[in-house]
Amino acid sequence: MTNSIEIKNLDLSFGAVKVLQDLNLNIGEGEFLVLLGSSGCGKSTLLNCIAGLLEVTDGQIFIKGNNVTWAEPSERGIGMVFQSYALYPQMTVKGNLSFGLKNAKVPKDEIEKRVARAAEILQIEALLDRKPGALSGGQRQRVAIGRALVRDVDVFLFDEPLSNLDAKLRVDLRVELKRLHNQLQNTMVYVTHDQVEAMTLADRIAVMKGGKIMQLGTPDEIYNQPRNLYVADFIGSPSMNFLEGNLEGGAFKVDDMTLPMTGYDFAAPQTAGRPAIVGIRPEHVVTGELVRNAPLQFEADVDLVEPMGSDTLVYAKLGQHSFRIRMDGQARVQAGEVLQIGIDPARASLFDKATEDRL
């Protein structure tokens, strides 16, 4: 896979505040890359740097092999979709779609052709003569995507495009976006703080924090093998259970419990003992019939039960530690009960307590 976007040693500071630090990132041709992180992690800033809307302090950006570090946004071969849609309110949908092309002095019949094609792909043909004010949120965002589409570029940049939509529309448009990517095979860089969007859309996810990329990997890697404590905690809802203890001779000890880590894929052989943290996802805890087959079995005291229809979230105590367990929606559990649970160490994550990196 050749690289569509290359970011080399990128630095960006606003005065004394370093927003991006020595950031390197290669995005493949046709890849759907999601920049994921909580607010203030620098993900939108990075996207604005790629778009050329922010000037970088140091480093280089290449798009399709061209050094575009100093290029204007319109010269970079990108299309961009914004959270607030950012449609020009006084222009019709057609005017919105063709504005960029007119600025680029594209011939008139070519503009017509491209607008018609984009409208067809996004199914907004009937809306072409309307003003943005007369459109619903979902329609507006579709027009905004169309505005990127008509530019006929290789790289699409999305800045939290679904955040302003209501929950149901968000899911619909998410599916449509994925379909669009399958159809167009463009490179797409997508900024979001929503991990569901990230997991469902991405070929690869870059989890960011404090202007740095914490982990870059496929959704599967990010979910199953988080490289450090931050990623482990950030991904997954409800979030991972963490127990602090010691790793000694291939077994994790916390208070009087011992978890032999048989089957766990250590990054490096662990000989010396060390303080460590084990992370277990609430949905990886088994209950009922399945406990018998689980490598490790415990008893947990049920504290509180949250039935959510599809799942039941159980807040329990494992020893003195609070522990979340995700059970089937049909599970009938009540506070005060003692629940038999099973854990598979192969699906857990171990982190060094000092460095917070995966062991």
Residues that bind another protein (CB under 8 A): 48, 51-53, 72-74, 78-80, 82-84, 86-90, 99-100, 103-104, 147, 159
Q: Measure the CA–CA gap between 246 and 278, rounded to whole angstroms.
A: 9
Q: Measure the CA–CA gap between 171 and 32, rounded to whole angstroms.
A: 17
Nearer to another protein, 103 or 310 (CB): 103
Min dist CB 148 to another protein, Å, is: 8
Q: Which positions ≥6 away from 196 have C-beta within 8 Å? A: none
297 pairs with which residues across the strands? 342
Min dist CB 40 to another protein, Å, is: 17
Nearer to another protein, 53 or 313 (CB): 53
Min dist CB 49 to another protein, Å, is: 12
Q: Phi and psi (nearest 5°) for 279? A: -120, 130
Q: Which of 34, 63, 54 is nearest to 177 (CA)?
A: 34
Nearer to another protein, 31 or 159 (CB): 159
Min dist CB 27 to another protein, Å, is: 18
Min dist CB 41 to another protein, Å, is: 19
Min dist CB 103 to another protein, Å, is: 4
The identity of residue 161, as a single letter, is: P
Nearer to another protein, 30 or 95 (CB): 95
Nearer to another protein, 72 or 289 (CB): 72
Nearer to another protein, 187 or 215 (CB): 187
Q: Measure the CA–CA gap between 240 and 348, rounded to whole angstroms.
A: 10
Q: Measure the CA–CA gap between 37 and 209, rounded to whole angstroms.
A: 6
Min dist CB 86 to another protein, Å, is: 4
Nearer to another protein, 15 or 269 (CB): 15
Min dist CB 73 to another protein, Å, is: 5
Min dist CB 48 to another protein, Å, is: 8
Q: Which of 290, 177, 292, 196 is nearest to 237 (CA)?
A: 196
Q: Write b or e for each residue in 284-306: b if 16 or more Cβ atoms lie within 10 A of its Cβ, otherwise e.
A: bbbbeeebeebebebebebeebe
Q: Which of 24, 33, 34, 23 is nearest to 1 (CA)?
A: 33
Nearer to another protein, 19 or 229 (CB): 19
Nearer to another protein, 151 or 209 (CB): 151
Q: Which of 290, 293, 339 is nearest to 313 (CA)?
A: 339
DSSP 8-58: EEEEEEETTEEEEEEEEEEEETT-EEEEE-STTSSHHHHHHHHHTSS--SE
3-class DSSP state of 324: strand
Cα–Cα distances in Å, from 193 out to 41, 84, 162, 205, 237?
10, 15, 11, 12, 13
Helices and strands (H and E) in the chain: how many: 8, 20
Cα–Cα distances in Å, from 210 out to 17, 137, 206?
11, 32, 13
